[in-house]
Chains A and B, each alone.
Chain A
Amino acid sequence: MIPRYQTVIFAVLLVASLAMGVALWQLRERAHKRLVAGEDSAPTRAPLVAPAEQATLLVASDADSTLRDQVQSLPLPADPGARARAVLGRLLELYAAPDATHPVPGGAGSVAQVFLMPVPAPGSNAAASRPAGSSATGANPTTASVPASQPSEFKGPELAVVNLTGSFAAGHPSGIETETLTVLSICGTLHANLPRVTQVRFLVDGQQRATLAGHADLTRTYLAAEAVPSESAHP
């Protein structure tokens, strides 16, 4: 015969565990909603209300290590920064597709932000930020005579700072060729659609990172025009 006090304790414990289970479930749902609400709310895709325009993407191919022009029609916002992000988002969507010629997981959300700013005046940066294609000793001709601070309507050469997500860098296949193709296709696509972008720098989660996935240098400044094939290069 089970004593009465044990039955009562059992019943109390059972009710308590059920209550805790329900409370835990509710807490989990609440935390999930909070996380979803806290996610980056910036548009990862170009708004559909924007008119569709022709965008030139420089799509990498691992099979022959080339960058090929691919013209796509997609809605592009008027703001240059958002426009750059939309174009790069489309490029990385292609790479995330199952039949991609240059498979890289991540997709459109892999570009957190693209900041456009006037090209820094020569001498304002250390050698560490010297453009990849520029002379190690001489001044870079594309950086000549541009004041350090510029109004927003500045029409000179621009530096694009592409902020990639950490998950994109972590999931990127490792290898000199594959990383170089990704970097060059991003640089080339930016220059093909925003001809004023002459230099590109990369950040990952807002921080400088030594390499993309162990190989391609992300600390240097890349000259965007060098990635564009001559037939599609803008003057």
Chain B
Amino acid sequence: MRWTRRARPVCLSLAALALAAGLPGSLSTAQAPAAPATQPARFLVVLDAAHGGDDNGGKLADGQMEKAFTLAFSVRLRSLLGARGMQVVTTREQDANVDLNRRAEIANHAKAEACLSLHASESGSGIHIFVSSLSPAQPERFTAWKTAQAAWVTRSLALAGALNSSLMRAGMNVTLGRTGLPAVDSMSCPAVAVEIAPERDPSGKVTAELDDPGYQARAAAALAGALLEWRTEARQP
């Protein structure tokens, strides 16, 4: 049969490839590197839009709820990160209740290079960046759920530094702090909580409200830029 004659060389070449793949040594290593080299290394960011569903969070000055602001900001930031070639996992995509433990579970399963818990508040000024107040600890095979972040605090502080630098370059007021947040404390990744507050001048007068699209865009762009730098830093040997 004609198709059999044509198929025989194909089968032989497939068999040869299969053998070559199974053989250790120079033959397999000569052909294998082509595939992994073309794939860029994975860089994954988890965006946790805080609150949602029954949990409204704080009430913002314009009558908006914190849960709505964080979701909108998460969507905005996700698109910016996607445009920069980063993979993004979000803890919620709609106005739904997501348990604090579930948020940490999502982040931990993703094995992300950066986890950002997004919040908003009317108090204070500019962007507040918080890292877990747990003391740094050595990573262990088994860690307590409520203090899983302890092994990552050093990396989280470095991430907070990168975010701080980028936001400062963008001309924003930044406050750095340590705190205890149940979701962040259970995350096993470099994790920070980013709280966005209205921008105020030194006299306390509001210069940019939270609902100002320009202010949101500036903050999101600075955060995306910081994560881009973080990716570069993470890939350095």
Contact = CB atoms under 8 A, between A and B. Distances in A.
Given A215-B119, A217-B182, A174 B144 contact: no
A138 B137 CA distance: 8
Contact of A62 (B100, B123, B135, B180): B123
User: What interface size band does chain A fall in?
Assistant: 20 to 34
Nearest to A133: B135
Tell me the dominant secondary structure on chain A's binding face.
Answer: loop
Nearest to B117: A176
Contacts of A215: 119, 179, 181
B195 A217 contact: no
Most chain A Cβ neighbours within 10 Å, of B51, B123, B140, B185: B123
Interface stretch (A91-99, A124-132, A146-154): A124-132
Given A65-B124, A133-B135, A214-B57, A176 B195 contact: yes
**Which has the most chain A C-beta neighbours within 10 Å: B137, B148, B180?**
B180
A213 B121 CA distance: 12
Contacts of A130: 144, 146-147
Contacts of B185: 217, 220
Contact of A135 (B122, B123, B150, B193): B150
A199 to B, nearest CB: 13
A137 interface: yes
Interface string B147-164: 110110000000000000
A165 interface: no
A180 interface: yes
B59 interface: yes
Contacts of A217: 180-182, 185
Nearest to A217: B180
A216 to B, nearest CB: 6
B82 interface: no
A128 B185 CA distance: 11
A203 to B, nearest CB: 16
Interface of B: 51, 55, 57-59, 66, 100, 119, 121-125, 128, 130, 133-135, 137-138, 140, 143-148, 150-151, 175, 177, 179-182, 185, 193, 195, 197, 204
Interface of A: 62-63, 65, 127-128, 130, 132-138, 173-178, 180, 210-211, 213-217, 219-220, 222, 226
- Which 7 pairs from chain A and chain B are nearest by CB? A175-B121, A174-B58, A136-B150, A127-B144, A217-B180, A136-B147, A136-B137
15 contacts: A63-B125, A63-B204, A65-B177, A133-B135, A135-B135, A136-B147, A173-B122, A174-B121, A175-B123, A175-B124, A176-B119, A176-B121, A211-B182, A214-B57, A219-B182
